[in-house]
Amino acid sequence: MKAKFTIHDCALLNLSQLGDRHGHLTIIENEQDVPFEIKRVYYLYDIPGGESRGGHGHIHLESLIVAVSGSFDVTVDDGHERKTISLNRPYHGLHIKPGMWRELHNFSSGAVCLVLASELYNEEDYIRNYQQYLELSHS
């Protein structure tokens, strides 16, 4: 699995934001605000301080990660370079391309992480061992 993409292909996307004195609304529409068809949505919450999530790569899946409440950091790794992006606005989403290793960490109290995924859950798409990920990304 030679990576087709690098960490430089993973980017923050600005999501539509409407607001007035009554509050704000962010809209995410399939294949308009997200550059892929959304096939699965899930969210992470009640993450204890000091804990990390993610710690895996995907062969085909791409995702959009949004801090809908609170904040956390996402480290993306393409097998050659790493970069960490802080997510702390519900109208910013981090688009992660296929073939990237990702780790989520530094969750604030009450943080909620929304993930929009391009694929249904498929365990065969996951790479859960970092050394194996490095070997696959360099082959």
Please list the active-site residues. 56
Nearest alpha carbon to residue 13 among 73, 83, 58, 67:
67
Rounded to the nearest 10°, the torsion over CA 2, 135, 115, 123 is: 100
Query: DSSP string spanning 26-52?
Result: EE--TTTTSSS---EEEEE--PPTT--
CB 53 within 8 A of CB 82: no
Please tell me the number of Cα atoms within 13 Å of 58 on its side-chain side: 18
